[in-house]
Amino acid sequence: MSDFEVFPGGLLTGDINVPGDKSVSHRSVMLGALATGITHVSGLLEGEDVLATIAAMRSMGVHINGPDQGNLTIYGVGHGGLKQPDSPLDMGNSGTAMRLLIGLLAGQNMNATLIGDASLNSRPMERVAKPLRTMGANIQTNEGCPPVKILPINHGLNGIHHDLNIASAQIKSAILLATLGAVGVSVIDEPGVTRDHSERMLQGFGCEITWARQRVSFRGGQKLVATNVHVPADISSAAFFIAGAAMTPGSEVRLIKVGVNPTRTGVIDILRLMGADISIENEHVVAGEPVADICIIGTKLQGVDIPHELVSLAIDEFPILCIAAASASGTTSVRGAEELRVKESDRITAMATGLQKLGIEVAEVPDGLDIHGGQLQGGIVDSFTDHRIAMAFSIAGLISDGKITIRDCNNVGTSFPGFLHLAKKHGLQVRVAE
């Protein structure tokens, strides 16, 4: 297992290019596989999570060339053209891949088993399986967790009207993917706004779909037509540099061609509420997704009560937002973030525990945290095998007064290959521990 060591000080500077968006990459592979014709993808994230999705599609008979420097060519088999896999589909550490594939395979009338690593095999899957069973799918879980078995059905799926109990793009997307093989219309009502990459991409592949005001409506049985997909830079990866620069006076960076889908920019809105100097430049649209350069000048941040409506728009960015909160004057509070407990780790406990070890006063509540800003000390923290926890505490070195050691950082490659090299290049004093 590899540990990271981060030495205090440093500034983030320069123009930074982060890898492609993981959410968009997963969906481009899945929809390209089910489309009729040849789909070309550029800018693909070549992280372990996305490679697991590609491997799964190949196991079901989809011919795919690449990835090669972010380029991928997918020879779609059309809906119903997937072959039954000969062995379990191993999704590694990727909850997104597993939950979306459960939906995609629910109506394919085949035997398939989805497995993952120890972390993924402890994560809840019934939240996806239950609405799909309502549609007519035959899905078994292991006491609510993987392995997940998808069994043949003697009938087709039916569209449903489903009210989501939690704001989750993964559950919503699983229902939409299952609806491709269903009769009737699926209507999904959300308690809060979630990322809409699935809706945009289904539209890009030729489907009619409507979404507005937290309601999505999608008619089943539509066919996907191959297209070209350009994956923008991942704002969840960019967030480590956005927040790191924002909280460090003297830092100045520009993140190039980052996806700024309005369902993903909560991290920018929250940092601006804390006083961050962030500007958006060169806005344009690429393959249906808004893209822009994000410019940050470092300053001293202030603690805030994070508005509830921004929580679902920044759910993956809370580990690094917790670091920003630790650097700020005053107290930062978040509520309504219980979804953080079922990510790659329990991110509420993981961040509270780590920050406390670095000398920050933190109060943990069931659905959030109260973080009292102060001076971060050096120390040893645990990543809980969670890539975002590992990267967040790496960035903390910018504002600490001693060396921080982060245990077990192997999973950083699942979402951000090359993170260590890029961070060092732009000013972070970090290395793999000897």
**Catalytic residue positions?**
316
Please provide the size of the chain in residues: 434
CA dihedral 295→297→302→307, nearest 10 degrees, is: 0
Cα separation, 413 vs 146, in Å, equals 22
- Token match 């960035």: residue? 395
> Which residues in 238-251 are b (16+ Cβ under 10 Å) and which e?
bbbbbbbbbbbeeb
For 105, left (φ over 0), alpha (ψ -120 to 50), or beta?
Answer: alpha
CA dihedral 27→97→389→122, nearest 10 degrees, is: 160
Cα separation, 244 vs 394, in Å, equals 10
**Which secondary structure element, helix H or strand E, spans residue 393, and what is its range?**
helix 387-395
- SS3 for 314? coil
Cα separation, 298 vs 245, in Å, equals 5
**CB 124, CB 342: distance < 8 Å:** yes
**Upper half-sphere CA count for residue 238 (Cβ side, 13 Å):** 32
Q: How does strand 182-183 pair with strand 185-189? A: unpaired
DSSP string, 217-284: EEETTPPPB--EEEPPBPHHHHHHHHHHHHTSTT-EEEEEEEE--TTTTHHHHHHHHTT-EEEEEEEE
* The token pair that represents 331 in the structure block: 């107290």
Q: How many CB atoms lie within 10 A of CB 335?
A: 16
